Structure 1
Amino acid sequence: GNLTASGVPYADYTGYSPVNPATTVPLGTGYDYASLNPNHWQPLTYFNGTMTVTPSFIGAQWYKVTPFAMRAADEFVPFSARFGPALYPSEIYKSQAQALIAISAGLTDTQKMIAEYWTNGPRTELPPGHWDLFAQFVSTRDHHTVDDDAKMFFALTAAIHDAGIAAWVAKRLFDSVRPVTAIPFLFHGQTIMAWGGPFMGTVSMDGGNWIPYQPSTFPTPPFPEYISGHSTFSAAGAEILRRWTGSDNFGASVTFDSGSSVVEPGVTPATPITLYWATFTDAANQAGISRRYGGIHFERADLVGRATGRLVGAQAWGKALRYFRDARHDSSAPGPR
């Protein structure tokens, strides 16, 4: 829908305005850090492969979306607020940034491919759609009927819908800073060891030049950091698939050929790598930590996102059952059909 004069479908109609002005990536050594508010999100300007863009906060209006099972869009705000995003100048703010720098410096080929696999950026199925693909795997594996699929996908997409609301309400409320801004702010003028960019490996650099392990055409998603959408979507999706199947068993995998990296094509990985998920929980947890490998999220946003997603998924499942009216999926007697 379009509620703005811009003519852009689904554009923000709530008047959100960022605290910080847009910047290029990396911020660099010459950036005016004194003018930066280190607790708030900052838009980025970059070349997306076709043109130079400065995306605004995508989904800034999602706190106004009607949930499926949540009693209100902000139902889980007290939960996310209990942990909150770390704020400058706290020690946690600095230590969470140092943790990401350490990950960046020690990235393995497997971690790089995990970061890339779960990117789900523009022109892909996006994080919510990723769990629909997993549900297709379950449908084939478990020999679903059309009736089975109708129920499973209904419950799954309803939970993912609510997960998006829960995550984006927190993003709008806390408006928290991304690592791509926070790390250069903290460590500009200091020497750090980190991934230096495609094909460069781990290098010594000025902290102002730190960048995430992401394609330069999409260096960081255009919305605030806390909580992680990937973690929330994935935990909610895993919760539904566990409850639907009556088991956490998953058994899916994906294999990357040598040199198939998007970020470091022809070089990474050095040998073929297979990602295997024995359980839905394994897949959801890997989706969450992938954002730390990629330098997109801090640990707290990942872990609180996972916990929020599980709560959202359980609530959506309970409401979906009332629509199913099917004893085979009664919450008191879960199990394979």
Structure 2
Amino acid sequence: MLLGGIGGASTAALAALGHSGSATAAEPAGQTPAAAADFDFDTGNFVRDLIATFRPAEDVYGPMDVTVLHRFIHLSTAAWFDAMAPYHPTAVGVYSRIRRRPSSESTTNRNKNIAALYANYRVIKGVEPGRGTAFRDLMTAIGLDPDDESENPTSPIGIGNLAGNAVLARTAHDGMNQLGDVGRTYNGRPYQDYTGYRPANSAYELTNPSRWQPKHGTHNRRLAGNAGDKGIFTVQSFVTPQQRLVRAHTFRDPGGFGLAPPEFSDHTRPRDYKRSVDEILEASAALTDEQKVKAEIFDNKFLGVGISVGAAAQAHGELDLDDLVHLLFGSTVAIYDSLVAIWHYKAKYDAVRPFSAVRHVYGSRRVTSWGGVGKGTVGDMPADEWTSYLNVGDHPEYPSGSGGVCAAQAQATRRFFDDDVLDWTFRAPAGSTMVEPGVTPGADLAVHWDTWTDFVRDCAYSRLWGGVHFSKTAERSIPFGEQFGDLAYEFVQRHVRGEVAED
């Protein structure tokens, strides 16, 4: 994502701002406090020069867990926007209404940088305290006092604290169960479901082949398989089904956005159902190194979603601090709101994932497909042993979260720049994939996207190549997601122009 965890972390992606137009699979090491001490408050850009150099909190958030991960990112960019609004000629905050400061206080970036950093730190302390130490070290290194909690609306420190605290206050009970206190008094469980969702199928029996079946698998959820316990197996739970109840910025009822039901995975239409399964198997059997690399890029939301906005910013020349924050905030609003609607329909349709459908159609009959790590394509695999190239997300199949958020972000960015230019290259060294380390790609590989249109299509269809979404889902998720990019751009620009009603 745009930020790899609010603990001051951006993705390798945002490091692309002001640097090269390409990226590799390696992440930046992160700027040391000593190096940060050279930061120039008057001419510097805190996003580019400070925030973008920190590693993502990938030890805390799974890079594929888009709802929780992006929430942290969005609250951070919202705090930036609100903290800088008083120093803008017309902008009005989203979560706060802090009075405008005299134009003489914004002749340089000093006050904006200070206010935004304090706002970011308040958000970190409120939603991700475990990451606070790194950000405290950063603030101390550049001469700021992280313990200054003053709320003087005439000073940049006070403005930052007011903005960050306003974001926390307005989102603590917005439907996501961030504090884990919905329906319980003791031993809170942050982000736990409180909606009462129950799957129609168990992990052991597919009684309704049209509905989502939780996957039974090893404890390792991540592609590299680093975190887990050998011999331990788990059953999926629908991740944050309450996401559909979160207050969006740009609409009130997510059900107002039409999305046709997934008739292609309706088992009462056996020909359509089988066609969808066969498309999955055909894609699996034909996997190329390039498709595997792209599937992993887009599966990693730290990487596939966030880095592209930085590349687009670079392709259009250096942005000033205000424009950069407005761009990033528009992108995160687009993703944030799209996820509310996407999760609404995931819960409504509760659609079956390909792994269940493949087994339902073919049972133990032999199929041709990707054979597993390093095995290439095989023609003798029992269908009940088939697995996808990517790990399967902990939520129903339709629509695609990845396809929808890519389309939303892309459209918001297109609107900001008024064109379709992306111009981003990702370089994958030989053997650098996480699923097939040392094997794929067989040689150094560069993938390039000239336009957002190309990027979004690959993002959506990478889920087909990865074996986790049907072809029709990829196709429909693009136009569904795009509308939230339009809404987000218009919402943010109204706030930039100050054309909003008083709270």
Q: TM-score, normalised by structure 2?
A: 0.58
Match of 2:115 in 1: none
Could you say if the C-alpha distance between residues 285 and 326 of structure 1 is closer, same or farther in structure 2, counting changes exceeding 3 Å? farther
1:285-311: CA deviations, max 9, x gaps? 111010000001001211111111111
Match of 2:401 in 1: 229
Mapped to 1, the partners of 2:279 and 2:264 lie a distance apart of: 15
Match of 2:200 in 1: 19
Amino acid at match of 1:40: R
Query: Within the alignment, does 1:305 sit opposite 2:480 as a pair?
Result: no
1:275-333: CA deviations, max 9, x gaps? 10001121111110100000010012111111111112112222222112299xxxxxx
Give matches, 1:262-301, under 5 Å: 262-301=434-473
Amino acid at match of 1:56: S
Higher radius of gyration, 1 or 2: 2
Q: CA deviation at 1:7?
A: 2.4
1:125-157: CA deviations, max 9, x gaps? 2xxx74333222333442111110121112111
1:168-227: CA deviations, max 9, x gaps? 11100000000011111111132211111111111111111111012xxxx200000000
Asked whether the 8 Å contact 2:364–2:384 carries over to 1, the reply is yes
Residue among 8, 11, 18 paired with 2:189:
8
Could you say if the C-alpha distance between residues 84 and 74 of structure 1 is closer, same or farther in structure 2, counting changes exceeding 3 Å? farther
Query: Within the alignment, does 1:162 sit opposite 2:326 as a pair?
Result: no
Q: Which runs of 5+ in 2 are unaligned?
A: 1-177, 221-226
Look up the SS of the partner of 1:233 in the other structure: helix
Asked whether the 8 Å contact 1:132–1:153 carries over to 2, the reply is no
Residue among 251, 259, 263 paired with 1:80:
259
Mapped to 2, the partners of 1:288 and 1:252 lie a distance apart of: 17
Which of 1 and 2 has higher RCO (CA within 8 Å, sep 6+)?
1
Q: Which moved more, 1:85-94 or 1:151-160?
A: 85-94
Mapped to 1, the partners of 2:263 and 2:407 lie a distance apart of: 19
Mapped to 2, the partners of 1:151 and 1:261 lie a distance apart of: 34
1:81-136: CA deviations, max 9, x gaps? 2665530031111101101101111111111111112112xxx62xxx74333222
Look up the SS of the partner of 1:309 in the other structure: helix
1:246-286: CA deviations, max 9, x gaps? 11111111111111121111111111111100011211111
Match of 2:50 in 1: none
Look up the SS of the partner of 2:351 in the other structure: coil
Amino acid at match of 1:199: G
Residue among 287, 300, 307 paired with 1:133:
307
Q: Which runs of 5+ in 1 are unaligned?
A: 24-31, 328-337
Amino acid at match of 1:43: P
**How many residues end up aligned between the 2 structures?**
305
Asked whether the 8 Å contact 2:264–2:272 carries over to 1, the reply is no
Asked whether the 8 Å contact 1:65–1:73 carries over to 2, the reply is no
Asked whether the 8 Å contact 1:38–1:181 carries over to 2, the reply is yes
Mapped to 2, the partners of 1:86 and 1:174 lie a distance apart of: 11
Could you say if the C-alpha distance between residues 144 and 50 of structure 1 is closer, same or farther in structure 2, counting changes exceeding 3 Å? same
Query: Within the alignment, does 1:176 sit opposite 2:346 as a pair?
Result: no
Asked whether the 8 Å contact 1:70–1:316 carries over to 2, the reply is no
Mapped to 2, the partners of 1:98 and 1:287 lie a distance apart of: 21
Mapped to 1, the partners of 2:312 and 2:386 lie a distance apart of: 40
Match of 2:491 in 1: 319
Identity of aligned residues (%): 31
Amino acid at match of 1:291: R
Amino acid at match of 2:244: Y
